[in-house]
């Protein structure tokens, strides 16, 4: 059993308007070396995940980032280009 399996499988927010939004990561994926990713569904206490284009889980989006981006999308619509992620880098 992995850590992710121990968390509730249901999305943290069923109306997550960020799912599918493109992001560019600050560091390359350990698997494919790419920086393109998308926002995925949350799980358990996590609001949203960040998934590489190669389907590798890169991490969880902070609640602060999730709330800010969600409110921005509600006011201005979904972005037409990837959101640049800064800060934490993916773990190996």
The residues spanned by each domain of the chain are: 3-83
* 10-residue mean pLDDT series, the chain (92 residues): 52 69 95 96 91 96 91 94 78 55
**Beta-carbon contacts of residue 55 (< 8 Å; ≥ 6 apart):** none
CA 62 to chain centre: 9
Query: What gap in Å lies between CA 79 and CA 32, rounded to an integer?
Result: 25
Per DSSP, 6 falls in state: H
Query: What gap in Å lies between CA 58 and CA 61, rounded to an integer?
Result: 10
Question: At residue 72, what are phi and psi to the nearest 5 degrees?
Answer: -65, -45
- Reading the block at residue 24, the tokens are 């560019």
Structural contact between residues 61 and 50, judged by C-beta atoms closer than 8 angstroms? yes
Q: What is the pTM of this model?
A: 0.75
The pLDDT score that the predictor gives to residue 9 is: 45
Q: HSE (CB half, 13 Å, CA atoms) of 38?
A: 11
């Amino acid at each position: 059993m992995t850590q992710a399996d121990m968390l509730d499988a249901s999305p943290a927010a069923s109306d997550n308007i960020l799912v599918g939004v493109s992001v560019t990561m600050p560091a390359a994926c350990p698997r494919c070396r790419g920086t393109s990713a998308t926002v995925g569904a949350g799980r358990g206490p996590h609001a949203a995940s960040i998934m590489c284009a190669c389907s590798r889980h890169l991490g969880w989006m902070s609640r602060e980032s999730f709330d800010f981006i969600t409110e921005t999308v509600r006011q201005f619509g979904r972005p037409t280009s990837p959101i640049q992620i800064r800060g934490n880098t993916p773990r190996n």
